[in-house]
Structure 1
Amino acid sequence: MKVILQADVKKIGRKGDVVEVAEGYGRNYLLPRGLAVEASAGNLRQVAEVKKAESSKVGRELKEAEKTGAALKDKVVNVSAKVGEGGRLFGSITTQEIAEQLRRQFSVEIDKRKIDVKEPIKTLGSHPVTVKVHPKVHVPVTVEVTPE
Protein backbone atom coordinates (compact mmCIF):
# COMPACT_ATOMS: atom_id res chain seq x y z
CA MET A 1 0.00 0.00 0.00
CA LYS A 2 1.38 3.42 -0.96
CA VAL A 3 0.94 6.18 1.62
CA ILE A 4 2.06 9.78 2.07
CA LEU A 5 3.50 10.39 5.52
CA GLN A 6 1.98 13.31 7.44
CA ALA A 7 4.63 13.13 10.18
CA ASP A 8 8.07 11.60 10.68
CA VAL A 9 7.74 7.87 11.42
CA LYS A 10 10.75 5.92 12.72
CA LYS A 11 12.19 3.40 10.28
CA ILE A 12 9.62 4.39 7.61
CA GLY A 13 10.34 7.95 6.48
CA ARG A 14 9.95 11.67 6.95
CA LYS A 15 6.94 13.94 6.60
CA GLY A 16 5.89 14.27 2.95
CA ASP A 17 7.61 11.07 1.79
CA VAL A 18 5.66 8.64 -0.40
CA VAL A 19 6.41 5.15 0.91
CA GLU A 20 5.26 1.58 0.35
CA VAL A 21 4.07 -0.12 3.57
CA ALA A 22 2.30 -3.36 4.39
CA GLU A 23 -1.48 -3.20 3.93
CA GLY A 24 -2.21 -3.99 7.60
CA TYR A 25 0.35 -1.53 8.94
CA GLY A 26 -1.10 1.23 6.80
CA ARG A 27 -4.78 0.53 7.52
CA ASN A 28 -4.48 -0.39 11.22
CA TYR A 29 -1.72 1.92 12.44
CA LEU A 30 -0.71 4.79 10.14
CA LEU A 31 -4.09 5.90 8.77
CA PRO A 32 -6.13 5.82 12.03
CA ARG A 33 -3.45 7.77 13.92
CA GLY A 34 -3.21 10.44 11.21
CA LEU A 35 0.43 9.62 10.50
CA ALA A 36 -0.28 9.02 6.81
CA VAL A 37 -2.88 9.36 4.06
CA GLU A 38 -3.42 7.14 1.04
CA ALA A 39 -1.35 8.09 -1.99
CA SER A 40 -4.14 9.09 -4.38
CA ALA A 41 -3.51 11.29 -7.42
CA GLY A 42 -5.02 14.32 -5.67
CA ASN A 43 -2.98 13.81 -2.52
CA LEU A 44 0.21 13.38 -4.56
CA ARG A 45 -0.46 16.69 -6.37
CA GLN A 46 -1.08 18.41 -3.06
CA VAL A 47 2.20 17.08 -1.61
CA ALA A 48 4.09 18.26 -4.71
CA GLU A 49 2.64 21.77 -4.30
CA VAL A 50 3.52 21.86 -0.61
CA LYS A 51 7.11 20.74 -1.31
CA LYS A 52 7.45 23.36 -4.06
CA ALA A 53 6.20 26.13 -1.74
CA GLU A 54 8.49 24.90 1.04
CA SER A 55 11.56 24.90 -1.20
CA SER A 56 10.85 28.46 -2.37
CA LYS A 57 10.42 29.51 1.28
CA VAL A 58 13.79 27.95 2.15
CA GLY A 59 15.36 29.79 -0.78
CA ARG A 60 13.93 33.12 0.40
CA GLU A 61 15.15 32.49 3.96
CA LEU A 62 18.65 31.70 2.65
CA LYS A 63 18.73 34.90 0.55
CA GLU A 64 17.58 36.94 3.55
CA ALA A 65 20.23 35.29 5.75
CA GLU A 66 22.94 36.00 3.17
CA LYS A 67 21.86 39.66 3.04
CA THR A 68 22.00 39.89 6.85
CA GLY A 69 25.35 38.09 6.85
CA ALA A 70 26.78 40.54 4.32
CA ALA A 71 25.62 43.45 6.50
CA LEU A 72 27.32 41.96 9.58
CA LYS A 73 30.48 40.58 7.97
CA ASP A 74 33.64 41.80 9.72
CA LYS A 75 31.71 44.33 11.83
CA VAL A 76 32.92 45.39 15.27
CA VAL A 77 30.39 45.24 18.11
CA ASN A 78 31.27 47.64 20.94
CA VAL A 79 30.40 46.46 24.44
CA SER A 80 31.27 48.33 27.64
CA ALA A 81 31.58 46.59 30.98
CA LYS A 82 32.74 47.25 34.54
CA VAL A 83 36.42 46.45 34.96
CA GLY A 84 38.41 45.40 38.01
CA GLU A 85 42.15 45.31 38.57
CA GLY A 86 44.37 44.16 35.74
CA GLY A 87 41.77 44.79 33.03
CA ARG A 88 39.62 41.83 34.03
CA LEU A 89 35.85 42.15 33.88
CA PHE A 90 33.42 41.59 36.71
CA GLY A 91 31.76 38.49 35.26
CA SER A 92 31.85 38.01 31.50
CA ILE A 93 30.21 39.30 28.33
CA THR A 94 27.28 37.00 27.54
CA THR A 95 25.77 36.10 24.19
CA GLN A 96 22.62 37.92 25.31
CA GLU A 97 24.59 41.16 25.71
CA ILE A 98 26.19 40.67 22.29
CA ALA A 99 22.75 40.05 20.70
CA GLU A 100 21.41 43.21 22.38
CA GLN A 101 24.33 45.29 21.05
CA LEU A 102 23.86 43.84 17.54
CA ARG A 103 20.24 44.97 17.70
CA ARG A 104 21.15 48.45 18.98
CA GLN A 105 24.16 49.13 16.75
CA PHE A 106 23.16 47.42 13.49
CA SER A 107 19.36 46.94 13.81
CA VAL A 108 19.75 43.18 13.32
CA GLU A 109 17.72 40.70 15.36
CA ILE A 110 19.86 37.66 16.23
CA ASP A 111 18.88 35.01 18.77
CA LYS A 112 21.46 34.69 21.56
CA ARG A 113 21.69 30.94 20.88
CA LYS A 114 22.94 31.71 17.36
CA ILE A 115 26.06 33.47 18.67
CA ASP A 116 29.08 31.20 19.13
CA VAL A 117 31.73 32.37 21.60
CA LYS A 118 34.74 30.02 21.65
CA GLU A 119 35.81 30.95 25.19
CA PRO A 120 34.21 33.26 27.77
CA ILE A 121 34.92 36.95 27.21
CA LYS A 122 36.43 38.11 30.53
CA THR A 123 39.05 40.65 29.45
CA LEU A 124 39.20 44.00 27.65
CA GLY A 125 40.07 44.07 23.96
CA SER A 126 38.95 42.38 20.76
CA HIS A 127 37.40 38.92 20.75
CA PRO A 128 36.33 36.95 17.64
CA VAL A 129 32.77 35.62 17.64
CA THR A 130 30.79 33.66 15.05
CA VAL A 131 27.15 34.55 14.34
CA LYS A 132 25.06 31.76 12.81
CA VAL A 133 22.52 33.71 10.79
CA HIS A 134 21.31 30.53 9.02
CA PRO A 135 22.50 26.90 9.15
CA LYS A 136 24.43 27.61 5.93
CA VAL A 137 25.52 31.20 6.73
CA HIS A 138 28.11 31.80 9.47
CA VAL A 139 29.50 35.33 9.87
CA PRO A 140 32.65 36.34 11.78
CA VAL A 141 32.14 39.37 14.04
CA THR A 142 34.56 41.07 16.43
CA VAL A 143 33.44 42.05 19.93
CA GLU A 144 35.38 45.04 21.25
CA VAL A 145 35.18 45.25 25.05
CA THR A 146 35.84 48.69 26.55
CA PRO A 147 35.80 49.86 30.19
CA GLU A 148 32.60 51.50 31.42
Structure 2
Amino acid sequence: MAKIILTHEVSGLGSAGDVVDVKNGYARNFLFPRGFATPWSRGAEKQIESIKNARAARDLASLEDAQALAAKLTSTTLTVPVKSGAEGRLFGTVRAEDVAKAVQASGLGSIDKRRVELTQRIKTTGVYQAVVRLHEEVNANVEFEVVPA
Protein backbone atom coordinates (compact mmCIF):
# COMPACT_ATOMS: atom_id res chain seq x y z
CA MET A 1 0.00 0.00 0.00
CA ALA A 2 1.16 3.51 -0.84
CA LYS A 3 0.32 6.62 1.16
CA ILE A 4 -0.45 9.53 -1.19
CA ILE A 5 -1.78 13.09 -1.15
CA LEU A 6 -4.56 13.84 -3.61
CA THR A 7 -4.08 17.03 -5.62
CA HIS A 8 -7.44 16.76 -7.44
CA GLU A 9 -10.81 15.28 -6.57
CA VAL A 10 -10.96 11.58 -7.47
CA SER A 11 -14.38 9.93 -7.49
CA GLY A 12 -14.66 7.24 -4.83
CA LEU A 13 -11.32 8.13 -3.27
CA GLY A 14 -11.39 11.69 -1.92
CA SER A 15 -10.87 15.33 -2.68
CA ALA A 16 -7.81 17.55 -3.00
CA GLY A 17 -5.66 17.62 0.12
CA ASP A 18 -6.79 14.24 1.46
CA VAL A 19 -4.16 11.70 2.51
CA VAL A 20 -5.23 8.19 1.47
CA ASP A 21 -3.77 4.71 1.19
CA VAL A 22 -4.03 3.05 -2.23
CA LYS A 23 -2.40 0.10 -3.90
CA ASN A 24 1.03 0.78 -5.38
CA GLY A 25 -0.01 0.01 -8.96
CA TYR A 26 -3.04 2.31 -8.83
CA ALA A 27 -0.88 5.17 -7.60
CA ARG A 28 2.03 4.50 -9.95
CA ASN A 29 0.02 3.73 -13.11
CA PHE A 30 -3.05 5.96 -12.78
CA LEU A 31 -2.89 8.70 -10.17
CA PHE A 32 0.71 9.94 -10.54
CA PRO A 33 0.85 10.11 -14.39
CA ARG A 34 -2.42 12.06 -14.55
CA GLY A 35 -1.34 14.49 -11.84
CA PHE A 36 -4.14 13.50 -9.46
CA ALA A 37 -1.79 12.74 -6.57
CA THR A 38 1.72 13.10 -5.17
CA PRO A 39 3.64 10.74 -2.90
CA TRP A 40 3.23 11.40 0.82
CA SER A 41 6.24 12.57 2.82
CA ARG A 42 6.83 14.70 5.91
CA GLY A 43 7.75 17.68 3.72
CA ALA A 44 4.74 17.18 1.48
CA GLU A 45 2.50 17.12 4.53
CA LYS A 46 3.08 20.87 4.86
CA GLN A 47 1.60 21.31 1.38
CA ILE A 48 -1.64 19.70 2.53
CA GLU A 49 -2.58 22.79 4.53
CA SER A 50 -2.05 25.11 1.56
CA ILE A 51 -4.08 22.79 -0.70
CA LYS A 52 -6.91 22.63 1.85
CA ASN A 53 -6.87 26.40 2.45
CA ALA A 54 -7.03 27.13 -1.28
CA ARG A 55 -9.85 24.61 -1.71
CA ALA A 56 -11.80 26.06 1.22
CA ALA A 57 -11.54 29.60 -0.15
CA ARG A 58 -12.62 28.44 -3.60
CA ASP A 59 -15.47 26.32 -2.19
CA LEU A 60 -16.89 29.09 -0.01
CA ALA A 61 -16.98 31.46 -2.93
CA SER A 62 -18.56 28.92 -5.25
CA LEU A 63 -21.15 27.20 -3.00
CA GLU A 64 -23.89 29.67 -3.92
CA ASP A 65 -22.85 29.55 -7.58
CA ALA A 66 -22.91 25.75 -7.50
CA GLN A 67 -26.41 25.70 -6.01
CA ALA A 68 -27.66 28.14 -8.65
CA LEU A 69 -26.09 26.12 -11.47
CA ALA A 70 -27.52 22.89 -10.03
CA ALA A 71 -31.00 24.38 -10.09
CA LYS A 72 -30.55 25.36 -13.74
CA LEU A 73 -29.13 21.96 -14.73
CA THR A 74 -31.89 19.95 -13.07
CA SER A 75 -34.61 22.01 -14.74
CA THR A 76 -33.13 21.72 -18.24
CA THR A 77 -32.97 18.77 -20.63
CA LEU A 78 -29.73 18.91 -22.59
CA THR A 79 -29.31 17.69 -26.16
CA VAL A 80 -26.27 15.59 -27.04
CA PRO A 81 -25.89 15.10 -30.82
CA VAL A 82 -23.96 11.93 -31.70
CA LYS A 83 -23.31 10.09 -34.95
CA SER A 84 -25.64 7.12 -35.17
CA GLY A 85 -26.61 4.38 -37.56
CA ALA A 86 -29.78 2.45 -38.20
CA GLU A 87 -32.32 2.03 -35.39
CA GLY A 88 -30.60 4.65 -33.19
CA ARG A 89 -27.43 2.65 -32.49
CA LEU A 90 -24.46 4.95 -31.89
CA PHE A 91 -21.03 4.79 -33.46
CA GLY A 92 -19.17 4.55 -30.14
CA THR A 93 -20.57 5.70 -26.79
CA VAL A 94 -21.56 8.94 -25.13
CA ARG A 95 -18.76 10.13 -22.83
CA ALA A 96 -18.64 12.57 -19.95
CA GLU A 97 -16.90 15.01 -22.28
CA ASP A 98 -19.97 15.00 -24.58
CA VAL A 99 -22.26 15.90 -21.68
CA ALA A 100 -19.90 18.67 -20.56
CA LYS A 101 -19.90 20.10 -24.11
CA ALA A 102 -23.71 19.96 -24.18
CA VAL A 103 -23.85 21.98 -20.95
CA GLN A 104 -21.57 24.60 -22.48
CA ALA A 105 -23.53 24.63 -25.76
CA SER A 106 -26.79 25.22 -23.87
CA GLY A 107 -25.35 28.43 -22.41
CA LEU A 108 -25.37 27.29 -18.77
CA GLY A 109 -21.62 27.71 -18.34
CA SER A 110 -18.70 25.33 -18.54
CA ILE A 111 -18.06 22.34 -16.32
CA ASP A 112 -15.09 20.02 -16.11
CA LYS A 113 -15.65 16.65 -17.76
CA ARG A 114 -14.10 14.94 -14.72
CA ARG A 115 -17.05 16.12 -12.64
CA VAL A 116 -19.59 14.30 -14.83
CA GLU A 117 -20.49 10.74 -13.82
CA LEU A 118 -22.49 8.68 -16.28
CA THR A 119 -24.59 6.05 -14.52
CA GLN A 120 -24.60 3.63 -17.46
CA ARG A 121 -22.95 2.95 -20.79
CA ILE A 122 -24.88 4.70 -23.55
CA LYS A 123 -25.00 2.94 -26.93
CA THR A 124 -28.40 4.07 -28.33
CA THR A 125 -30.37 7.27 -28.74
CA GLY A 126 -32.81 8.20 -25.99
CA VAL A 127 -33.12 10.08 -22.71
CA TYR A 128 -30.55 9.40 -19.97
CA GLN A 129 -29.33 10.88 -16.70
CA ALA A 130 -25.93 11.80 -15.33
CA VAL A 131 -24.68 13.17 -12.02
CA VAL A 132 -22.57 16.34 -12.04
CA ARG A 133 -20.51 17.02 -8.91
CA LEU A 134 -20.48 20.82 -8.78
CA HIS A 135 -19.29 21.18 -5.21
CA GLU A 136 -18.44 18.94 -2.28
CA GLU A 137 -21.98 19.46 -0.98
CA VAL A 138 -23.84 19.99 -4.28
CA ASN A 139 -24.61 17.34 -6.90
CA ALA A 140 -26.95 17.91 -9.83
CA ASN A 141 -28.92 15.20 -11.62
CA VAL A 142 -28.79 16.18 -15.28
CA GLU A 143 -31.20 14.79 -17.83
CA PHE A 144 -29.98 14.70 -21.42
CA GLU A 145 -31.30 13.41 -24.70
CA VAL A 146 -29.01 11.62 -27.14
CA VAL A 147 -30.07 12.47 -30.70
CA PRO A 148 -28.60 11.58 -34.12
CA ALA A 149 -26.21 14.21 -35.45
The verdict on a shared fold, with TM-score over 0.5 as the criterion, is: yes
Could you state the TM-score of these two structures normalised by the residue count of structure 2?
Answer: 0.59
Distance in 2, matches of 1:117 and 1:89, equals 16
| Count of residue pairs brought into register by the alignment | 105
Whether the 8 Å CA contact 1:126–1:144 is kept in 2: the answer is yes
Unaligned ranges ≥5, structure 1: 1-7, 11-29, 37-50
Aligned to 1:121: 122
Aligned to 1:97: 98
The alignment's C-alpha RMSD in Å is: 2.8
Query: Unpaired runs of 5+ in structure 2?
Result: 1-16, 20-41, 47-52
CA contact (8 A) 1:92 1:122 kept: yes
TM superposition score normalised by structure 1: 0.60
The structure where strand makes up a greater share of residues is: 1
| 8 Å CA contact 1:133, 1:139 repeated in 2 | yes
Work out whether residues 74 and 140 of structure 1, in 8 Å CA contact, stay in contact via their aligned partners in 2.
Answer: no
Quote how far apart the aligned CAs of 1:145 are: 0.9
SS of match in other structure, 2:93: strand
Distance in 1, matches of 2:130 and 2:44, equals 44
- Secondary structure at the aligned position of 1:141 is classed as strand
Say if 1:85 and 1:57 are closer, same or farther in 2 by CA, change over 3 A: closer
Shift of 1:106: 2.4
For 2:139, the equivalent position in structure 1 comes to 138
Q: Secondary structure at the match of 1:142?
A: strand
Shift of 1:59: 2.5
Alignment partner of 1:85 is 2:77: no
Q: Which residue is 1:39 aligned to?
A: none
